[in-house]
Amino acid sequence: MEKYKILKSYYQLKKNMLNFKEKIKEEVFMSTPHNQANKGDIAKTVLMPGDPLRAKYLAETYLENVKQFNATRSMFGYTGTYKGKRVTVFSSGMGMPSMGIYCYELFKFYGVEKIIRIGSCGAYNENLNLFDTILVDHSYTEGNFAYEWNEEDCHIAKSSDELNLKIEEAAKLNNIKYIKGNTLCNDCFDGYLADIPAFINRFPKELDIIACEMEAFALFYIAKYLGKQASCLLTVVDSYYKNLEST
């Protein structure tokens, strides 16, 4: 009986030590190499423009009780409240590699559940006009982000149906027009391509690509990989067919 009591005490002590270690690990967590935020600084829902100055403008214009938590690599991040709800605005930088780093860290290390990319795009549909809003359904890429990440031959990533539904309900409630469609996520800035007609000709016809941007595929793919939610809202800032661009 005495031996049993000693063993029981030993295992209880061991369990307490493991719990203590986990608690210490959580308390001493400080940052990642790309984000100086502490745990708790970032909300469960993140709005993610590419441009750090857009993040700054959005946070200072629309959020209350704003606190800046990151300036590492000039990727500005802010948390505040919007109509009483805690929201974070954090820049992603340009391209899938940069988006891949930041969204992975937010989902994996900071407990973020939802990320909505808010950015710009070029229109590849004759019916789109400058400043139209696109809600991305599927993102297609010719690149190998998925293979490099996970050795998966994947070139189409889908946004979150659940999150999209909430965005669509909010848009209808506020009488905001939007177009839902599939977009291309490019590794190169399409405005500098040597042969844009050849570029367009490579679009998979069954996807009916309507616009091009550079980050959504990485966001959608990482969200699915980690069991999180991601969406993307884009503003049309130039049109190939109408030869127009915003200034």
The residues carrying an active-site annotation are 238
3-class DSSP state for residue 22? helix
Instruction: With both helix axes pointing from N to C terminus, report the angle between 216-226 and 96-109 in degrees, rounded to the nearest 10.
Output: 30
DSSP string for 133-201? EEEEEEEE-SS-HHHHHHS----EEE--HHHHHHHHHHHHHTT---EEEEEEE-SS-GGG-S-HHHHHH
Q: How far apart are CA 137 and CA 208, in angstroms?
A: 11
Q: Quick one: which of 116, 244, 125, 128 has its CA closest to 191?
A: 244
Q: How far apart are CA 236 and CA 95, in angstroms?
A: 17
- Torsion angle (degrees, nearest 10) of CA 146, 151, 153, 154: -30
